[in-house]
């Protein structure tokens, strides 16, 4: 727990900024949802058919799984990452409670009051604005309250598409298997939800004419709290305001995982130091396709990718075994197809490796993957879901080596595999050749004697248009070319995964040690 407090203290500025960005996202989304939901709710009270259509639509939207919705909105927003699609997702989920409570509020108006309004000769518009809406406000606000609390939670997921906020801590915590980071994101999010709930509760109370007024000190406290939350949100907006109101800057992204965070920080640091451009860091994005689509359509200017992943996942071509050929093919195809430049490789190759406990591998005399064939009846394999399904993963491995394991592989999260092998709950795992845990847990990698796993080189992908706008960019990024071999990468990863050090700090130290900063 002290570890958590220390971390929170050292992160206090970033944490506060993340909280502000989080709140800003929620406030903007809620404002939009109210602006959209209240008129829809009013419309729904005008006719049965309208109500069926509106409530039906809101219900359907509510049931769309959040990741599917985020993915869909990413393509709607043309690959733009960050706030716009995240905000849209929150609006979609906030609509239902707001619409429903608008309808409920308008329907719950006392019949005598409604009749008196008619009898006074009010027009439909006057009845709505002078009587119905003001009286529906307390119930309507109840809906806003429900939607707000849910949105504070939902907004954490938006980190997967690069929205700033507390979710980035949670995703980083998951990527680095660091509980402290997860708590660092979750606890403020929970507190924020409680604060918003209480603040809206106070507003709801103040607007309800039949409830007694608060004492002055309590009313003042409530006003200060509401203004404080709005101020925090405004600061969050200011810090993340649209690019047109800031100096020259580019957006660098990264996929999830410790290695990607490290390399992302290195690229960003180099750009800031040598190209005179500020960098908006959108790290830990949810996967290859999120990053690449954002890059292709202008939401990102650069991120780091592996050539093999580009070949199989982006270009959807079969895996190949010659690194130079893969790089050439990827470079040519991405430039021609999408206007994306592929800079020079960083040096190391990242590939799948099969891992065993050192003690067991020595006892069974297993040195190469072929050696496994002597122990097919007893070995207990375990793989991650991606490896199980990729053409250059398990299916091809079985074919290439004739590995017919007697026990079906256990499928588990790839971040848990290393620990599982080390503790003996499985005997064989597929991991990343550069993962620091190979060193930390004293695992041995089996030689790929038939050269089955294609070697993947790490290369920065940059939009050609961005390179034209910032001519110094490609030189700045290429300073890292050939500077990181597999051993170095493994050591750096171990700093982050094993010693739980901050990827940004480790990246900066490494660049300084090379004299690049």
Partner 1 sequence: MSATPAVAWREVCKSYPDGHQALRGVSLEVAAGECLAVLGTSGSGKTTLLKMVNRLIEPTSGAVLVRDVPTSEWEPIALRRSIGYVIQDAGLMPHLDILANVGLGLRVQGRPRAERDEEARERLELVGLDPSRFARLRPHQLSGGQRQRVGVARALAADPDLILMDEPFGALDPITRRELQDEFRRLQRRLGKTVVFVTHDIREACRIADRLALVAHGRLVQHGRAVDLLERPTHDFVRAFFREAEAIDAVTEKEGP
**Beta carbon of residue 129, minimum distance to partner 1 (angstroms, whole number):** 10
**Beta carbon of residue 130, minimum distance to partner 1 (angstroms, whole number):** 7
* Nearer to partner 1 among residue 127 and residue 508 (C-beta): 127
* Nearer to partner 1 among residue 113 and residue 227 (C-beta): 113
Q: What are the respective helix, strand and coil percentages of the chain, to the nearest 5?
A: 65, 10, 25
Contacts of 481 (CB under 8 A, 6+ apart): 343, 344, 345, 346, 347
Q: Report d(CA 18, CA 21) in Å as an integer.
A: 5
Give the DSSP letter string of 220-288: HHHHHHHHHHHHHHHHHHHHT--GGGSSSEEEEEEESSHHHHHHHHHHHHHHHHHT--EEEEEEEESSH
**Beta carbon of residue 132, minimum distance to partner 1 (angstroms, whole number):** 11
* Nearer to partner 1 among residue 131 and residue 340 (C-beta): 131
* Nearer to partner 1 among residue 212 and residue 247 (C-beta): 212
φ, ψ dihedrals at 511, nearest 5°: -65, -40
* Nearer to partner 1 among residue 59 and residue 108 (C-beta): 108
Binding residues (CB under 8 A) for partner 1: these are 110, 112-113, 115-123, 126, 130-131, 134-135, 209-210
- For tokens 């939901």, what's the residue? 37
**Beta carbon of residue 109, minimum distance to partner 1 (angstroms, whole number):** 10
Q: Report d(CA 101, CA 78) in Å as an integer.
A: 33
Using alpha carbons, list the distances in angstroms from residue 402 to 248, 376, 405, 499.
Answer: 55, 10, 9, 38
Q: Is residue 503 a contact partner of residue 261, using CB atoms and an 8 Å limit?
A: yes
Q: Kind and range of the H or E element at 473? A: helix 473-478
* Nearer to partner 1 among residue 123 and residue 215 (C-beta): 123
* Nearer to partner 1 among residue 115 and residue 332 (C-beta): 115
**Beta carbon of residue 131, minimum distance to partner 1 (angstroms, whole number):** 6
**If DSSP codes are grouped into helix, strand and coil, which group holds residue 459?**
strand
Q: Report d(CA 111, CA 267) in Å as an integer.
A: 66
**Beta carbon of residue 202, minimum distance to partner 1 (angstroms, whole number):** 18
**If DSSP codes are grouped into helix, strand and coil, which group holds residue 350?**
strand
* Nearer to partner 1 among residue 67 and residue 113 (C-beta): 113
**Beta carbon of residue 24, minimum distance to partner 1 (angstroms, whole number):** 32
**Beta carbon of residue 126, minimum distance to partner 1 (angstroms, whole number):** 5
Burial zone of 36 (CB within 10 Å; 0-12 exposed, 13-18 middle, 19+ buried)? middle
């Amino acid at each position: 727990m002290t570890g958590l407090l220390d971390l929170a203290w050292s992160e206090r500025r970033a944490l506060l900024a993340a909280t502000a960005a989080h709140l800003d996202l929620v406030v903007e989304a809620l404002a939009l949802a109210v602006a959209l939901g209240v008129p829809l709710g009013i419309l729904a009270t005008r006719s049965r058919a309208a109500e069926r259509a509106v409530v039906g639509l809101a219900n359907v939207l509510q049931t769309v799984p959040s990741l599917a919705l985020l993915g869909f909105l990413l393509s709607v927003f043309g690959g733009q990452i960050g706030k716009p699609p995240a905000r849209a997702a929150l609006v979609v989920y906030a609509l239902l409670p707001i619409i429903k409570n608008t309808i409920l509020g308008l329907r719950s108006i006392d019949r005598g009051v409604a009749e008196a309004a008619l009898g006074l000769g009010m027009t439909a518009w006057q009845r709505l604005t002078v009587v119905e809406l003001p009286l529906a406000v307390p119930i309507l606000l109840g809906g806003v309250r429900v939607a707000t609390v849910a949105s504070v939670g939902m907004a954490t997921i938006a980190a997967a598409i690069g929205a700033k906020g507390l979710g980035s801590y949670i995703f980083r915590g998951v990527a680095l298997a660091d509980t402290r980071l997860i708590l660092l994101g979750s606890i403020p999010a929970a507190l924020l939800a409680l604060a918003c709930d209480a603040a809206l509760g106070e507003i709801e109370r103040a607007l309800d004419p039949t409830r007694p007024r608060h004492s002055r000190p309590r009313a003042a406290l409530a006003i200060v709290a509401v203004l404080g939350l709005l101020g925090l949100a405004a600061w969050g907006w200011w810090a993340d305001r649209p690019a047109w109101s800031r100096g020259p800057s580019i957006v660098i992204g990264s996929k999830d995982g410790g290695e990607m965070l490290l390399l992302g920080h290195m690229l960003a640091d180099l750009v800031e130091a040598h190209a005179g451009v500020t960098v908006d860091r959108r790290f830990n994005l949810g996967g290859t396709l999120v990053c690449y689509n954002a890059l292709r359509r202008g939401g990102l200017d650069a991120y780091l990718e592996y050539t093999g992943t580009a070949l199989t996942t982006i270009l959807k071509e079969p895996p190949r075994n010659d690194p130079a050929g893969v790089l050439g093919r990827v470079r040519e195809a991405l430039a021609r197809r999408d206007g994306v430049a592929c800079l020079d490789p960083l040096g190391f190759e990242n590939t799948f490796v099969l891992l065993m406990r050192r003690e067991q591998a020595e006892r069974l005399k297993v040195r190469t993957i072929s050696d496994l064939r002597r122990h097919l009846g007893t070995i207990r394999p375990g793989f991650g879901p991606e490896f199980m399904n990729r053409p250059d993963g398990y299916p091809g491995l079985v074919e290439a080596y004739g590995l017919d394991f007697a026990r079906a592989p256990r499928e588990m999260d790839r971040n848990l595999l290393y620990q599982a092998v080390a503790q003996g709950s499985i005997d064989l795992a597929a991991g990343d050749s550069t993962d620091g845990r190979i060193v930390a847990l004293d695992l041995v990698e089996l030689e790929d004697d038939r050269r089955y796993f294609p070697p993947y080189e790490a290369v920065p992908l940059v939009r050609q248009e961005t390179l034209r706008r910032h001519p110094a960019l490609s030189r700045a990024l290429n300073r890292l070319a050939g500077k990181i071999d597999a051993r170095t990468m493994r050591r750096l990863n171990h700093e982050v995964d094993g010693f739980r050090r901050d990827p940004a700090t480790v990246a900066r130290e490494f660049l300084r040690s090379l004299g690049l900063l």
